[in-house]
């Protein structure tokens, strides 16, 4: 884990302050490992840069990491890459996997058991985007550091 290599970013600039990346191999521990890395990352951002990481932001970040990494591990063959970036205003969770299939949230169905992950991620994030890559796809979810930030209803970009 480390600060942005540029070294000129500050918490007040709105530019990236810190980032870290993690390659997740197979196995059930990768999801817990990803959540643990996210917790360490946010703690470091708070201590080293004085960023306002509330308990709610920490919990939402852990939830989004869990959902995105779980989906990647479940549906994509091969490794999963997770990147975390933080600015003075938001934390971005980026998950890359090798499956080119673009996920879509399903229509709400209170009787459906499971498969609500993307719906949950959409509901708790400020922005959610899926980008096709030459191999697979990259999903980026943004969580505002301000708890009072509105989370607009929107579809996948």
pLDDT in tens, 127-153: 999 999 999 999 999 999 986 655 544
Higher pLDDT, 80 or 152: 80
Helices (H), 22-156: 29-49, 55-75, 117-124
Please report, to the nearest 10 degrees, the dihedral formed by the alpha carbons of residues 104, 62, 59, 151 taken in order.
-30
- How many CA atoms are closer than 13 Å to the CA of 119, on its beta-carbon side? 10
Looking at residue 129, its pLDDT comes to 96
Q: Which of 126, 37, 143, 16 minimizes the C-alpha distance to 80?
A: 37
Mean pLDDT of 76-91: 93
Instruction: Look at residue 87 in the predicted model and tell me its pLDDT.
Output: 94
3-state secondary structure of 24: strand
Question: pTM score, two decimals?
Answer: 0.82
Pairing of strands 137-144, 90-97: antiparallel
Tokens of 37: 């890395």
Is the pLDDT higher at 30 or at 41?
41
pLDDT digits (tens, 9 = 90+) for 2-17: 333 333 344 444 577 8
**What is the per-residue pLDDT for 95?**
97
Tell me the pairing of strands 90-97 and 127-132.
Answer: unpaired
How far apart (Å, rounded) are the C-alpha atoms in residues 155 and 90? 19
Query: Is residue 50 predicted with pLDDT exceeding 60?
Result: yes
Provide the pLDDT for residue 140.
98
Task: Give the range among 22-26, 56-60, 105-109 with minimum mean pLDDT.
Answer: 105-109
State yes or no: pLDDT of 157 exceeds 80: no
* Mean model confidence pLDDT for the chain: 84
């Amino acid at each position: 884990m480390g600060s942005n290599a540029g070294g000129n970013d500050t918490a007040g600039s709105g530019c990236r302050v810190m980032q870290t990346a993690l390659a997740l191999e197979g196995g059930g521990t990768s999801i817990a490992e990803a959540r643990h890395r996210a917790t360490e990352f946010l703690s470091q951002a708070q201590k080293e840069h004085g960023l306002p990481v509330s308990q709610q932001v920490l919990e939402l970040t852990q939830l989004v990491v869990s959902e995105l990494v779980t989906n990647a591990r479940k549906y994509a063959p091969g490794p999963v890459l997770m990147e975390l970036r933080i600015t003075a205003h938001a934390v971005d969770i980026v998950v890359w996997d090798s499956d080119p299939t673009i996920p879509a949230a399903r229509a709400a169905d209170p009787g459906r058991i499971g498969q609500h992950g993307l719906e949950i991620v959409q509901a708790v994030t400020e922005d959610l985007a899926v980008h096709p890559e030459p191999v697979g796809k990259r999903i980026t979810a943004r969580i505002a550091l301000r708890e009072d930030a509105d989370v607009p209803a929107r579809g996948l970009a």
